[in-house]
Amino acid sequence: MTLKSILVTGTAAIALLPGQAFAAEISSEQATALLERLNQLEQEVVNLRAQLSNVETVQQKQTEQVAAVEKVAQKKEKTSIKFKGAPEIKTDDGWSFKPRGRILYDFNNLSSVPSTITIPGEGFSNEARRVRLGVQGKIPGGFGYKLEADLLDGVEITDAYLDYKSGGLTITVGQHNNFQSLEEISSSNDTSFIERSAFTDAFGFERKVGISAQYKAGDVLLQGGVFTDNIDDLSAGNDSIGLDGRVVFAPKLGDAQLHLGGSVHWMDLGDTIGSVRYRQRPLIHSVSTRFINTGNIDAEEQLTYGLEGAVIAGRFHAAAETHWAKVSRSGLANPTFFGGSIEAGLFLTDDKREYKGGVFKGVKVKNPVGSGGSGAWQVNVRYDRLDLTDAGIIGGTQDGYMASLIWTPINHVRFLLNYGNLSYGNALGIVAGAPEDFSVDVIGARAQISF
- For residue 104, the model assigns a pLDDT of 98
Give exposure, 374-394, as e/b (b: 16+ Cβ within 10 Å): ebbebebebebbbbbbbeebb
Q: Which of 185, 205, 153 is nearest to 360 (CA)?
A: 185
- For residue 51, the model assigns a pLDDT of 78
CA distance 114 to 435: 8
Strands 252-253 and 292-293: unpaired
The three-state secondary structure class of 42 is helix
CA distance 273 to 185: 25
- For residue 121, the model assigns a pLDDT of 85
- How many CB atoms lie under 10 A from the CB of residue 268? 15
For the chain, report the end-to-end CA distance as a whole number of angstroms. 73
pTM of the entire predicted model: 0.81
Residue ranges in the chain modelled with pLDDT below 70: 1-25, 69-77
- For residue 306, the model assigns a pLDDT of 98
CA distance 47 to 42: 9
- For residue 344, the model assigns a pLDDT of 98
- For residue 235, the model assigns a pLDDT of 81
